[in-house]
């Protein structure tokens, strides 16, 4: 049995303590917004927050989450969001900059960006590189992710849709 | 319509050319811009409605329905894998329909023969029909719809969605639907149709002051005669086309709600999970296996020897993967003599040796290249090589299958849903009508998902176990045991006259797939050209990989042109410009490129710029890459691209695709390489099959030219081919070191 808080709600699951958090959340708890990409903490598609810190959930055993707070993309989005408005600002910037292509890596990108901006409200390019280099985007949307982080942090103006 | 039952062989032949057509649809019919095709003969809305329309929704024709709330839904036959086709195809239909964009929605067309993409098949097999007169158009349209159905042509690839289905189906469907709505209103209001105008999903008759939302006449419109060749808007009349409208699929992709194939949780089914192990060397099969340990592991349900793969089904994917990793499998011996990349390159070299300086299959010939080489003032020759590459889409290969009572349901991220349906039906020995393929968003395709084998694998496992099974490949399986961009070796010779002008060009290589013209430097004015293919066996199975042959040919040709420019002592951009004087479009691209990249401005110390230009999939793309060599290793600083696609339907979406193509191309150039060890691939995951990351990606600026009056070009692939040569040409400019093989990084290790 594993007990932790998922997106603000206490959960108990029957899982092997070595099962990665990613699979526990996707298969046992039914939240599929967090993605499987590599299984070895190389791509960042599975990024969640554990007590607020970004982790690679494909390589974090569910036992590590015991008694702690786990936040997923579903948890920072919409009404279930953490209420600080940060994730909404980031998601708004992701829309204004039209960041995603296939979108598969973007949950992880947004979870990394959320942790970055919470700790560093006005990141430099080097700060962005350091925080985001663990997240691969095979579609190659990196320049837009960078711009969106700057828009979300008030360092750049959002793109205006051509009327 | 669907009463034709071609035999299997015929169907497979059709499927082959159709797929080739999609992947390689680089040759567009010249001449006229738009011909009205694409609305289905007979307007079969009665039969289609139950498949695509819900309560209160009226299907006006195959491609558009209107709800009681006046929501217009475009039914899109292509899949969405990040290229933005769903959104832009809806934009095109909505513009011709005069729909209110805020009330337009997109619906993925079901996997059904009614939604084949007729127009791409037609463009490939019979481009001469593309400019047909209106009177014969319905005949051609009917014929090619039948052919496309026989070929299961529901495909997304070849950078073709916008320029085929968009231009030749969605626009026509929108314009035709508009005409039908107008017709219905005219009848009801008893006024001439010519007096009715439309805007924002509203019908207006100014003289009588009457107006009505489309919804009011949607039902009646479906019974109006449908014009198969309606008059389309000219660019000055566009309201949505040509505008950077925000993509409709993005909101769901940033909050975790977008559903990809791997996320499928079929209602009412208690899923089991399968991990698989495929042969490490292509073509081998299971001789024996020891699964004693796996059998004892928790959650394990079944272990299956499927002959050409092993599957293990468990309660969770993680348990399945952990358990299957413990199985020892003995595979049969491969007959391939190729065990290492040295062997593979030696096989290429042997084929080229045999072809010599004049042999091989002729791919293109102009003038007398051999004679011109013999009399040239200067000759240069070089040998280039490229490695095998994996597609590595972020969403690992997966498929969910359930077989029950002779029927099968499939959930998969696929670029070819109808072919998957036929493949699964054939595998299970059931009728295609008993197979339902659900295909949600694709987490990256790049050509990897043009095959249907994975769906058949999952169906076999589901049939063998009786469980609804979600099969997921590990990243390692997809890196090592999939389908690949081919490796190749090219031998090139050039002859320059006394002024340095390129007068002879001879190019020989071993791999030619699609598009056929990728190996020919046709845009350049070179008097004597010979392009030859000396086919050689590939150890790894081939699969179209973003931009297909252009991915290696762009590197070969544009690197060698750069060598010629330097041999002539000319500026590489000016040198290309000289050879393009016959084409104003190409020249304009290079001029704009020189301007935005500050080509003629001195770079910072240790920096240098390289240029390359490739025309592919109907779009001309020139790129300049700036590298910084101050640390002794190349760092990508800036990338500039100028593209002429004739007319761009969604500029920001197009730029996003070009940016992605550049990063994809630079990733391959910098790191992409699969090596062989005892015939098996060595690289396994992102730690050793590396991708460019945020901190390694250059700034990218893309500029667009709408030169108009030519067929619209593609977006998904054309950004890629110039990236690698522009990069290595920049390294040459900085260091004098000519890189004739890829990848780059290991040559500066």
**What is the pLDDT confidence band of residue B127, given thresholds at 50, 70 and 90?**
low
Q: Are residues A27 and A48 in the same domain?
A: yes
Task: Give the gap in angstroms from C-alpha B245 to the nearest C-alpha of chain A.
Answer: 6
User: In the beta sheet, which residues pair with residue A50?
Assistant: A53, A70
Q: Which of B5-9, B276-280, B286-290 has the lowest mean pLDDT?
A: B5-9
pLDDT of residue B145: 83
Average pLDDT (B576-581) is 94
How many whole angstroms separate alpha carbon B108 and alpha carbon B85?
11
Tell which of A138, A156, A162 to mutate to test the B interface (max B CBs under 10 Å): A138
**What is the pLDDT confidence band of residue B22, given thresholds at 50, 70 and 90?**
very low
**What is the pLDDT confidence band of residue B158, given thresholds at 50, 70 and 90?**
confident
C-alpha radius of gyration, chain A, whole number? 16
Closest residue by Cα to residue A70 from A39, A86, A48, A87: A48
Q: Are residues A57 and A102 in the same domain?
A: no
If you measure CA to CA, which chain B residue comes closest to A38? B475
Tell which of B273, B318, B472, B640 to mutate to test the A interface (max A CBs under 10 Å): B318
Q: Give the domain CATH number at A86.
A: 1.10.150.120
Is A159 domain-assigned? no
Closest residue by Cα to residue B380 from B566, B611, B579, B577: B566
pLDDT of residue B116: 86
Q: Are residues A9 and A72 in the same domain?
A: yes
List CB contacts of A47: < 8 A, sequence separation 6 or more.
Answer: A34, A54, A55, A56, A57, A107, A108, A109, A111, A112, A134, A135
With beta carbons under 8 A apart, name residues in chain A contacting B652. 98, 159, 162
Both tokens assigned to B727? 């990069």
Q: Strand locations in A35-150, DSSP E?
A: 47-50, 53-56, 69-71
Q: Are residues A9 and A67 in the same domain?
A: yes
If you measure CA to CA, which chain B residue comes closest to A23? B318
Q: Are residues A148 and A89 in the same domain?
A: yes
Model confidence at B658: pLDDT above 50:
yes
Q: Give the domain CATH number at A47.
A: 3.10.20.30
Mean pLDDT of chain B: 92
Q: Are residues A15 and A72 in the same domain?
A: yes
Q: Which of B144-153, B328-337, B505-514 has the lowest mean pLDDT?
A: B144-153
Average pLDDT (B6-13) is 42
pLDDT of residue B46: 82
With beta carbons under 8 A apart, name residues in chain B contacting A45. 394
Q: What percent of chain B has pLDDT over 90?
A: 83
CB contact under 8 A, A19 and B81: no
Question: Which H or E run includes B663?
Answer: helix B651-670
Average pLDDT (A49-67) is 97
pLDDT of residue B135: 78
Q: Looking at the partner chain, which of B258, B443, B694 has a beta carbon nearest the beta carbon of A146?
A: B694
pLDDT of residue B42: 66
List CB contacts of A92: < 8 A, sequence separation 6 or more.
Answer: A152, A158
pLDDT of residue B153: 84
With beta carbons under 8 A apart, name residues in chain A contacting B84. 101
List CB contacts of B146: < 8 A, sequence separation 6 or more.
Answer: B1, B4
Q: Are residues A72 and A104 in the same domain?
A: no
| Final residue in a domain of this structure, among A58, A76, A94 | A76
Model confidence at A79: pLDDT above 70:
no
Q: Are residues A59 and A94 in the same domain?
A: no
List pLDDT tens digits, range B514-554.
Answer: 899 999 999 999 999 999 999 999 999 999 999 999 999 99
Highest-scoring range by mean pLDDT, B37-41, B59-63, B108-112, B287-291: B287-291
Is A109 domain-assigned? yes
Residue B256 CA to its chain's centroid (Å): 25
Closest residue by Cα to residue A106 from A45, A39, A32: A45
The answer to whether the CB of A149 falls within 8 A of the CB of A113 is yes
Model confidence at B9: pLDDT above 50:
no
Q: Are residues A48 and A112 in the same domain?
A: no
The answer to whether the CB of B482 falls within 8 A of the CB of B389 is no
Strand order in the sheet with B528-533: B361-366, B528-533, B502-509, B488-496, B378-386
Whether the bond into B743 is cis, omega within 30 of 0: yes
Average pLDDT (B61-73) is 95
**What is the pLDDT confidence band of residue B256, given thresholds at 50, 70 and 90?**
very high
Is A58 domain-assigned? yes
**What is the pLDDT confidence band of residue B5, given thresholds at 50, 70 and 90?**
very low
The half-sphere exposure of B72 on its side-chain side, counting CA atoms within 13 A, is 33
Q: Looking at the partner chain, which of B255, B657, B686 has a beta carbon nearest the beta carbon of A77?
A: B255
Q: Which of residues 25-84 of A touch B (CB under 8 A)?
A: 27-28, 30-40, 42-43, 45, 72-74, 77-78
Burial of B623 (0-12, 13-18, 19+ CB in 10 A): buried
The CA angle A17-A20-A22, to the nearest 5 degrees, is 135
Task: Give the gap in angstroms from C-alpha A68 to the nearest C-alpha of chain B.
Answer: 22
Q: What are phi and psi of B164, to 5 degrees?
A: -105, -75
How many whole angstroms separate alpha carbon B386 and alpha carbon B522?
22
List pLDDT tens digits, range B710-736.
Answer: 889 999 999 999 999 999 999 999 999
**What is the pLDDT confidence band of residue B8, given thresholds at 50, 70 and 90?**
very low
Question: Residue holding tokens 């319905």?
Answer: B138
**What is the pLDDT confidence band of residue B120, given thresholds at 50, 70 and 90?**
confident
The answer to whether the CB of B573 falls within 8 A of the CB of B593 is yes
Q: Which of B28-37, B398-407, B518-527 has the lowest mean pLDDT?
A: B28-37
Model confidence at B670: pLDDT above 50:
yes
How many whole angstroms separate alpha carbon B540 and alpha carbon B553?
19
List pLDDT tens digits, range B180-227.
Answer: 999 999 999 999 999 999 999 999 999 999 999 999 999 999 999 988
How many whole angstroms separate alpha carbon B386 and alpha carbon B668?
10
Task: Give the gap in angstroms from C-alpha B697 to the nearest C-alpha of chain A.
Answer: 7
Q: Which of B111-125, B369-383, B528-542, B645-659 has the lowest mean pLDDT?
A: B111-125
The interface pTM score, or ipTM, of the predicted complex is: 0.97
With beta carbons under 8 A apart, name residues in chain B contacting A40. 475, 685-687
Closest residue by Cα to residue B495 from B445, B437, B568, B433: B568
A68 vs A9, A13, A35, A105, A111, CA distance in Å? 11, 14, 21, 25, 17
pLDDT of residue A81: 54
Domains of chain B: 8-251 (3.30.365.10), 261-333+397-472 (3.30.365.10), 341-389+484-748 (3.30.365.10)
| Final residue in a domain of this structure, among A47, A76, A105 | A76
Collapsed DSSP state (helix, strand, coil) of residue B622: strand
The answer to whether the CB of B703 falls within 8 A of the CB of B641 is yes
Domain count, chain A: 2
How many whole angstroms separate alpha carbon B245 and alpha carbon B158?
23
Model confidence at B291: pLDDT above 70:
yes
Could you list the residue range(s) of the whole structural domain that residue A54 is in? 2-76
Average pLDDT (B470-492) is 98
If you measure CA to CA, which chain B residue comes closest to A91? B254
Question: In terms of pLDDT, which residue wins out, B555 or B132?
Answer: B555
| Final residue in a domain of this structure, among A32, A50, A76 | A76
Is A161 domain-assigned? no
CB contact under 8 A, B255 and A23: no
Collapsed DSSP state (helix, strand, coil) of residue B198: strand
Closest residue by Cα to residue B262 from A15, A29, A104: A104
Collapsed DSSP state (helix, strand, coil) of residue A7: coil
Q: Which of A27-31, A141-145, B450-454 has the lowest mean pLDDT?
A: B450-454
How many whole angstroms separate alpha carbon B442 and alpha carbon B722?
26
Q: Are residues A39 and A90 in the same domain?
A: no
List pLDDT tens digits, range B445-476.
Answer: 999 999 889 999 999 999 999 999 999 999 99
Both tokens assigned to A64? 């590590």
Q: Are residues A89 and A124 in the same domain?
A: yes
- Dihedral of the alpha carbons of B735, B740, B742, B743, in degrees to the nearest 10: -20
Q: Are residues A8 and A44 in the same domain?
A: yes
Residue B647 CA to its chain's centroid (Å): 19
How many whole angstroms separate alpha carbon B238 and alpha carbon B95?
7
List pLDDT tens digits, range A87-116.
Answer: 899 999 999 999 999 999 999 999 999 999
**What is the pLDDT confidence band of residue B43, given thresholds at 50, 70 and 90?**
confident
Task: Give the gap in angstroms from C-alpha B325 to the nearest C-alpha of chain A.
Answer: 13
User: Is A106 at the interface with chain B, CB within 8 A?
Assistant: yes
Handedness of CA B5, B10, B11, B17 (dihedral sign): negative
| DSSP states of B495-527 | EE-TT--EEEEEEEES---SSGGGG--TTS--S
**What is the pLDDT confidence band of residue B228, given thresholds at 50, 70 and 90?**
confident
Closest residue by Cα to residue B468 from B265, B259, B304, B262: B265
List CB contacts of A63: < 8 A, sequence separation 6 or more.
Answer: A2, A17, A18
Average pLDDT (B283-292) is 98
User: Is A114 at the interface with chain B, CB within 8 A?
Assistant: no
């Amino acid at each position: 049995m594993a007990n932790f808080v998922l997106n603000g709600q206490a959960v108990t699951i029957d899982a092997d303590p070595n099962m990665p958090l990613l699979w526990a959340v996707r298969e046992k708890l039914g939240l599929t917004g967090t993605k499987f990409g590599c299984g070895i903490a190389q791509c960042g598609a599975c990024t969640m927050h554990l007590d607020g810190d970004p982790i690679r959930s494909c390589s974090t055993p569910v036992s590590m989450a015991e008694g702690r707070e786990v936040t997923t993309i579903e948890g920072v989005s919409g009404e279930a969001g953490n209420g600080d408005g940060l994730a909404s600002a980031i998601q708004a910037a992701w829309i204004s900059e039209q960041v995603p292509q296939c979108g598969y890596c973007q949950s992880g990108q947004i979870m990394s960006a959320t942790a970055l901006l919470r700790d560093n409200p006005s990141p430099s390019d080097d700060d962005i590189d350091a925080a985001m280099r663990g997240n691969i985007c095979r579609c190659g949307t990196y320049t837009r992710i960078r711009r969106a982080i700057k828009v979300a942090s008030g360092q750049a103006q959002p793109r205006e849709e051509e009327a | 319509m669907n009463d034709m039952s071609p035999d299997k062989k015929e169907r497979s032949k059709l499927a082959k050319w159709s797929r080739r057509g999609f992947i390689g649809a680089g040759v567009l019919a010249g001449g006229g811009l738009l011909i009205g095709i694409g609305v289905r003969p007979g307007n079969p809305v009665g039969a289609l409605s139950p498949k695509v329309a819900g309560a209160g929704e009226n299907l006006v024709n195959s491609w558009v329905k209107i709800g009681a709330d006046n929501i217009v839904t475009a039914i899109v036959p292509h899949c969405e894998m990040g290229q933005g086709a769903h959104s832009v195809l809806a934009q095109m239909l909505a513009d011709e329909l005069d729909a209110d964009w805020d009330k337009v929605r997109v619906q993925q067309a079901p996997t059904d023969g009614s939604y084949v993409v007729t127009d791409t098949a037609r463009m490939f097999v019979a481009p001469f029909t593309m400019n047909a007169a209106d009177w014969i158009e319905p005949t051609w349209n009917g014929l090619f719809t039948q052919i496309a159905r026989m070929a299961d042509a529901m495909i997304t690839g070849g950078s073709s969605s916008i320029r085929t289905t968009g231009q030749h189906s969605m626009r026509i469907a929108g314009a035709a639907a508009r005409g039908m709505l107008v017709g219905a209103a005219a009848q009801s209001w008893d006024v001439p149709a010519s007096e009715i105008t439309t805007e924002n999903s509203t019908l207006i008759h100014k003289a009588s002051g009457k107006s009505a939302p489309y919804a009011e006449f949607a039902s009646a419109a479906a019974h109006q005669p449908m014009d198969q060749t309606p008059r389309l808007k000219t660019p000055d009349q566009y309201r949505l086309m040509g505008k950077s409208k925000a993509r409709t699929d993005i909101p769901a992709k940033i909050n975790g709600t977008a559903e990809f194939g791997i996320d499928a949780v079929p209602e009412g089914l208690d899923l089991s999970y399968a991990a698989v192990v495929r042969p490490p060397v292509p073509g081998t099969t299971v001789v024996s296996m020891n699964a004693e340990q796996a059998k004892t592991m928790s959650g394990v349900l079944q272990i299956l020897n499927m002959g050409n793969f092993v599957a293990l089904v468990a309660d969770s994917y993680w348990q399945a993967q952990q358990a299957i990793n413990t199985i020892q499998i003995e595979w049969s011996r491969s007959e391939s003599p190729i065990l290492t990349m040295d062997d593979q390159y030696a096989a290429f070299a042997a084929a080229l040796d045999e072809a010599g300086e004049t042999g091989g299959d002729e791919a293109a010939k102009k003038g007398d290249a051999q004679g011109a080489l013999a009399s040239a003032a200067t000759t240069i020759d070089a040998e280039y090589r490229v490695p095998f590459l994996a597609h590595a889409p972020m969403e690992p290969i997966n498929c969910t299958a359930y077989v029950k009572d002779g029927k099968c349901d499939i959930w998969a991220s696929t670029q070819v849903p109808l072919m998957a349906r036929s493949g699964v039906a054939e595998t299970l020995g059931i009728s295609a009508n008993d197979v339902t393929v659900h295909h949600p968003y694709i987490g990256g395709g790049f050509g990897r998902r043009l095959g249907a084998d994975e769906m058949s694998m999952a169906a076999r496992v589901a049939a063998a176990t009786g469980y609804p099974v979600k099969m997921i490949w590990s990243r390692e399986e997809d890196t090592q045991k999939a389908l690949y961009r081919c490796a190749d070796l090219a031998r090139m010779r050039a002859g320059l006259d006394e002024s340095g002008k390129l007068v002879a060009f001879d190019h020989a290589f071993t791999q030619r797939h699609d598009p056929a013209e990728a190996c020919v430097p046709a845009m350049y004015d070179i008097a004597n050209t010979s392009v030859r293919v000396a086919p050689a066996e590939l150890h790894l199975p081939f699969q179209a990989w973003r931009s297909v042959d252009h991915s290696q040919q762009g590197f070969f040709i544009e690197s060698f042109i750069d060598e010629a420019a330097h041999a002539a002592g000319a500026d590489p951009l000016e040198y290309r410009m000289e050879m393009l004087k016959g084409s104003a479009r190409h020249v304009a691209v290079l001029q704009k490129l020189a301007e935005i990249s500050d080509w003629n401005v001195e770079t910072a110390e240790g920096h240098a710029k390289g240029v390359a230009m490739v025309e592919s999939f109907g779009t001309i793309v020139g790129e300049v890459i700036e590298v910084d060599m101050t640390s002794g290793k190349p760092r990508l600083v800036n990338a500039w691209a100028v593209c002429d696609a004739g007319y761009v339907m969604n500029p920001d979406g197009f730029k996003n695709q070009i940016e992605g193509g550049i990063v994809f191309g630079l990733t391959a150039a910098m790191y992409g390489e699969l090596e062989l060890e005892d015939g098996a691939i060595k690289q396994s995951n992102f730690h050793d099959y590396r991708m460019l990351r945020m901190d390694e990606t250059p700034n990218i600026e893309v500029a667009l030219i709408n030169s108009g009056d030519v067929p619209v070009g593609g977006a998904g692939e054309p950004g890629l081919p110039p990236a690698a040569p522009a990069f290595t040409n920049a390294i040459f400019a900085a260091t004098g070191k000519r890189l004739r093989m890829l990848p780059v990084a290991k040559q500066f290790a």
